[in-house]
Amino acid sequence: MAEFCQLKLKKLENNIKILLDNVVNDGNHLPKLDKSNNTVYKSCDNVYFKSRGRKASPDGFYFITVIFSTGNSSHSILILKEGSNFYLFDSNGKEFANLGSCSDYYKLNIFYEGKEVTLENSISPEKSWNRSANCSMWGIVIPILYGGKFKNDTFKPYTDNQINKFYEFMEQGYGSQNQGSCWIESMKKKFIDKSNRKYTTKSDTTEFIREMRSEINMVINCKKKFSFCN
């Protein structure tokens, strides 16, 4: 069951890369691919971006898998490129966002046009939203929150104020009672574990995007205090 759900998540991620205009189908630009077409880096590694040439790196979110030094565990993160600026989303929070040692966690060095640049962690949460170990699910949700659109989409992107409201809600609570951890677990159960969709088609993924926006809207627009934690 767990393996089947992971496969559904991977198919959903692959379609997100193709459909959303703010996600880069990174296989063409960051060549460190494994057999599953994941862009994979070691826990201490360099990531190179270019502005010109055949492998120029467009703006947008890049899906990255970090393989820890032990070799038996990994973690999914996002890097957002905006011009010459780079931002990291790590669902484990700023405490761990590219700040750990190579042996304990990970440290990626970002190079743009051959020069090392800063990888900002401003879009990472203050605390962990990943107590439920759903970093891959967060990787799918965040580009939607940051205004990703598909062809012929009439969606009006969220404002900075709306995104801040989403973050404020997810920051509530601690440990296993953190709202971000509870919310993302409920989303995985609803759209992956208990859903009949296999996400093999773009239409399935398009519907997922629309429904995920509704879930995000509920968090942003709710006036009453509520909780996703038991």
- Residue ranges covered by each domain of the chain: 2-221
Q: What are the tens digits of pLDDT across the range 103-129?
A: 678 899 999 999 999 999 999 999 999
Q: What are the tens digits of pLDDT across the range 181-206?
A: 999 999 999 999 999 999 999 999 99
Residue 35 clears pLDDT 50, i.e. is over it: no
pLDDT of residue 84: 95
Q: Is 37 left (phi over 0), alpha (psi -120 to 50) or beta?
A: left
Residue 154 clears pLDDT 70, i.e. is over it: yes
CA atoms within 13 A on the CB side of 138: 32
pLDDT of residue 209: 97
Judge whether 178 and 129 are in contact, CB under 8 Å.
yes
